[in-house]
Amino acid sequence: MPRGFFITFEGLDGSGKSTQIKRLAAWFEKLHEAANTAAESWAEPPGRAPVVTRQPGGTEIGDRIRALALDSRGTRLAPMTEMALMFADRAQAIAEVIQPALDQGRIVICDRFTDSTEAYQGGGRELGSEIVLELHRLLCRDLQPDLTLMLLPPVEASLARAQRRNERSVAQNGRDEGRFEREEIEFHRRVLNKYREIAARERRRVVLIEGDGSIEEVHEGVVAAVAERLGIVAKK
């Protein structure tokens, strides 16, 4: 059985990842109508959607960890605890969702992965990259995405969008996930710089999409990168 294909999305809060993930998943579902695929290079049969998941969250245990890590009342979490929670969530997601799907040859799309820990805890909380990469090696058996789409619109615009979304969520269902959004702007600049550092180091894996493109423009960039890696040729 061929290994599936593992795609991750990364970016600042409010960078539009969720919208792009929905669009990409829908694109995959319709792919067989619209494309000739190099059969050996991707494995989803017609009409089957990719496996879509997110971190933190995506499993029952992960959802509990997410609530603990993102609730803005939980301000006393020490940076090391926060990082450990992110890896606990990830180890569970790999065991329960990601690795089994890849072993079945599925396409997996994950909203955030270890680059987020390197950017937020390594960069934002200033724990450094080394400890994050070491924990990834030990706890995640160094599982690497085949392709990472990194969305980096301007910091101020992303944050304003994320804050509006969180206010809506608090008003609608009382769920407050704003702990990171409430960090000062310097925190988010450190996150952004670390993301840029990762993109420069991981040139083969990471495709960087910068600037304030429209949803459609970003989607086109995402699809172009995915199609190129999977050897998918659009029908004329």
Residues that bind ligand TMP (CB under 6 A): 13, 54-56, 70, 86, 111-112, 116-117, 120-121, 180
CB 65 within 8 A of CB 88: yes
Q: Please report how close the Cβ of residue 1 comes to ligand TMP at its closest, in angstroms.
A: 28
Distance CA 35, CA 86 (A): 38
Q: Shortest gap between Cβ of 94 and ligand TMP (angstroms)?
A: 13
Which residue, 44 or 111, has its beta carbon nearer to ligand TMP?
111
Question: In the beta sheet, which residues pair with residue 210?
Answer: 152
Give the nearer residue to ligand TMP in terms of CB position, either 48 or 182. 182
Query: Which residue lies nearer to ligand TMP by CB, 37 or 72?
Result: 72
CB nearer to ligand TMP: pick between 70 and 209: 70
**Nearest distance in Å: CB 116, ligand TMP:** 4
Residue 147: strand, helix, or coil: strand
Q: How far is CA 26 from CA 20, 32, 173, in A?
A: 10, 12, 27
* Closest distance of CB 90 from ligand TMP, Å: 7
The distance of closest approach from Cβ of residue 161 to ligand TMP in the complex, given in angstroms and rounded to an integer, is 11
SS3 call for 6: strand
The CA–CA distances, whole Å, from 24 to 7, 19, 107, 190, 219 equal: 11, 9, 11, 29, 7
Cβ proximity to ligand TMP: between 58 and 221 the closer is: 58
Do residues 146 and 43 make contact, with C-beta atoms less than 8 angstroms apart? no
